[in-house]
Amino acid sequence: MRSIPQIDTDDLSQALGGLVESFQVESIGSGEGYMSDLYRITLQGRALPDSVILKQPSGDPEKLALASRFNSYGREQYFYRELSEYSAIRTPRCYFNADHQFLLLLEDAGLWPVIDVTSGASFAQATTAVTHLARLHASHWTCSPDAAAHFSSGFEAAALDMSSFVIDRLGELPQSSPVQFMNQYASQSINYLPLFLAQKQVFSHMDFRLDNMRIDGDDLMLFDWGECSLAAPGFDLAYFLITSLTTRNRRTWEGTLLDTYHRVLTANGIQYDRDELFNSYRLALPPGFYLAALVLTRGHQDYGMTLAQRSLGAIDDHLPFILKQFGNTS
């Protein structure tokens, strides 16, 4: 199958197993927050879905370089080829996954409700999210050697990338104890890797936030698997709570949501100490600032500041523990 703009009805018919008589293409993702270019293809014909999503490499050289550094395209293709079938979470159906280039044809989740990221998730939505997250982690609590080898470089790449722009963004924020700590963390992030790698490592989404999921009642669909990797169980959990909840709601619901995650994990046959989960969650709060720094770097001031305030607020709430842990590794 060929990419946009070369794609034609024969390409789509072969990929989808139906008869595509005509189609229309709409660009839906090529700007901020997208590592690849996304298109919605509306279909006319027989034995077809109403529409599908096509993902192909970004036309932006900067994003292509970033995707190459993190192997984002390879990660997402590996997930759909090798892991999605065995993951206890709903993902878009993959109709086509190219062998020698990045090209994915996926189920369109466009009819699912979209949650406003600024307002954040409700308690019910957050409960649904952490419930499905626990099931995902439980289904991959022990990774195959092949998957472990494929994803082993995720944290190293992220740590090496931290100091390149995080410190600059921190300089634009009012000085506070969390900001001072994050300056230390960003400048020495590679030295902190042993703290993360010493924990239990499970297959993780690594970008588990409202932008990358759709929630409808108790159902959830999770997409954008280009950052999936091995990480401690608390990473996805911390990332969701600090990006997808207001600070007030995160403070109010934090303990209950961690309890829910732990209870579902246990119900799925995983023995993992609740105190160990809490420590893993708190250790994952500093790297959660990464998204805020990235959004601010790209010039999205309002959203970036919202994320920064949420992240720094969580770090501040747990600062004594964080300082003790990271102060021991320098």
| CATH number for position 99 | 3.30.200
Total Cβ atoms within 10 A of residue 108: 19
Top-confidence residue, 32 or 317 = 317
Evaluate whether residue 117 is within a structural domain.
no
Q: How many residues are present in the chain?
A: 330
User: 224 and 158 in one domain?
Assistant: yes
User: 195 and 78 in one domain?
Assistant: no
Share of the chain above pLDDT 70, in %: 94
Evaluate whether residue 2 is within a structural domain.
no
Confidence check: pLDDT of 162 > 80: no
Confidence check: pLDDT of 218 > 80: yes
- How far is 2 from 210, CA to CA, in rounded Å? 31
- How far is 233 from 134, CA to CA, in rounded Å? 9
Structural domain containing residue 232: 123-327
Q: Does this model's pTM top 0.85?
A: yes
The helix/strand count (H/E) of the chain reads as 14, 9
User: 263 and 154 in one domain?
Assistant: yes
Q: At which of 72, 107, 142 does a domain end?
A: 107
Q: What is the mean pLDDT of residues 132-157?
A: 83
- How far is 217 from 204, CA to CA, in rounded Å? 23
Q: What pLDDT digit, counting tens, does each position of 122-138 carry?
A: 999 999 999 999 999 99
User: 154 and 69 in one domain?
Assistant: no
User: 185 and 39 in one domain?
Assistant: no
Evaluate whether residue 112 is within a structural domain.
no
Evaluate whether residue 131 is within a structural domain.
yes
Confidence check: pLDDT of 305 > 60: yes
User: 259 and 146 in one domain?
Assistant: yes
Asked if residues 155 and 197 have their Cβ atoms less than 8 Å apart, the reply is yes
User: 73 and 158 in one domain?
Assistant: no
Mean pLDDT of the chain: 92
Whole-number pLDDT of residue 330: 42
Going from the C-alpha of 159 to that of each of 33, 171, 180, 198, 233, the distances in angstroms are 19, 19, 18, 15, 18
Evaluate whether residue 4 is within a structural domain.
no
* 202-204/213-216 β-pairing: unpaired
In the chain, the number of structural domains is 2
Whole-number pLDDT of residue 33: 52
| CATH number for position 132 | 3.90.1200.10
Evaluate whether residue 253 is within a structural domain.
yes
Confidence check: pLDDT of 269 > 60: yes
Asked if residues 19 and 13 have their Cβ atoms less than 8 Å apart, the reply is yes
**Lowest mean pLDDT, pick from 69-73, 118-122, 217-221:** 69-73
**Lowest mean pLDDT, pick from 112-126, 138-152, 175-189:** 138-152
User: 314 and 174 in one domain?
Assistant: yes
Confidence check: pLDDT of 282 > 80: yes
User: 205 and 63 in one domain?
Assistant: no
Residue at 260: amino acid letter: T
User: 159 and 67 in one domain?
Assistant: no
Evaluate whether residue 174 is within a structural domain.
yes
